[in-house]
Structure 1
């Protein structure tokens, strides 16, 4: 779904979408003062009841997440435009993480397309707002700055559990957290069912972590697209600069572009190619991810950036037929232009 990520009105639209998805998710456990009904806590026998008075469980999830989305929107972006969350990194991470409600839990999972585990969700939500966190929960629980207790926690703070840490989630407010709980369940919002062993606040890339797009990302890439290029490039193992250079050459970063030949969107994917990749070419996040996957396949197949770009432009069959960059003027200019933008030798 695409929304106008420009302010509170967009936030309300996003809340409506989240509510419709949240309604069909497995029910979040209900905490009663001094007790817990969380399945993992019962199974492990390790849960401690939330300390009385540590934080009141007030307000609905909708209102809490709505506040985070509204603050993210007021700062310049929502989950649909995750790179523009402004200085409110925590609210941006909550908004970004809400996109993954309903994604199944998979141990070791870090790709929403196949499943997420607890630390995979945390890493992905923060990557979506331009912050790189370590992969595992124990390392994530050492990032940022310490928050003394749950009463002082803000939306976006990391809640770590266990000693050593073996579980982590993202606080959304009102005594609740966004988590990937365990096998057989999906990303959901739960009550904070036991006292965290660590609460960490990620205040921004400059303070505690490196922006995902800071390394190897050309300065001319529009800010709003940088996290999407960084995420797709890292996921599929292609240079972020090369991927962004394809977008610059193909559409000039115009997500609404349609070529005379029928190529669509930011990455100018033909409809048949987009269908084969399983993406909507008009959705920038999907188009960038699909193009990265396509380019990665060409790089593996042909072994060089010029040939991979030629295959992206003219098709892999043409590259094989000519055993190199095809002698098409358009393709040769295309390869030269993309490599020039990326600062790569032909």
Structure 2
């Protein structure tokens, strides 16, 4: 079994408390939800093709999913597992990413202005994505 996903989740947990920063990819200067996922996987040993220039709101779900596919993620059929990326759909066309543990989610919370760990239960509109063993492109 590949331990990359659980290592990425463990790395994300070390980033709890890091400042939220739009377009942020470096835990030293701040992270947004995309940057958290990419920084966690980099800390776990896998550099991913990184999206640039994405807005905080207004992207269609297809655009968000295309970015995940470009980085090497595939949709999960069935239950998610540790290290999978949760794609959460909020009202008004806003999408959010976080890294799953067994029953926890680590994500960069714009309202709280920091990376947090929260329970997964109660989240609506969620899809899970898993990194392929051999992604098509890396940074």
TM-score, scaled relative to structure 1: 0.32
1:258 equivalent in structure 2:
none
Task: Tell me which of 63, 82, 102 is aligned to 1:173.
Answer: 102
1:223 equivalent in structure 2:
none
C-alpha RMSD of matched pairs (Å): 2.5
More displaced, 93-102 or 136-145?
A: 136-145
Residue by residue, what CA displacement relative to the aligned partner does 1:22-51 show, whole Å, maximum 9, x if unpaired?
Answer: xxxxxxxxxxxxxxxxxxxxxxxxxxxxxx
TM-score, scaled relative to structure 2: 0.73
Q: Which has the higher helix share?
A: 1
2:27 equivalent in structure 1:
112
2:61 equivalent in structure 1:
none
Q: CA deviation at 1:88?
A: 1.1
* SS of match in other structure, 2:77: coil
Structure 2 spans left out of the alignment, 5+ residues: 55-63
Structure 1 spans left out of the alignment, 5+ residues: 1-85, 213-346
Provide the C-alpha distance between the structure 1 equivalents of 2:67 and 2:14, rounded to a whole number of angstroms.
21
Provide the C-alpha distance between the structure 1 equivalents of 2:31 and 2:128, rounded to a whole number of angstroms.
21
Aligned residues: 122
Q: CA deviation at 1:202?
A: 0.9
Greater RCO (CA < 8 Å, at least 6 residues apart):
2
- Find runs of 4+ consecutive structure 1 residues off by over 4 angstroms: 209-212
Does the 8 A contact of 1:158 with 1:170 survive in 2? yes
Structure whose CA Rg is larger: 1
Q: Which has the higher strand share?
A: 2
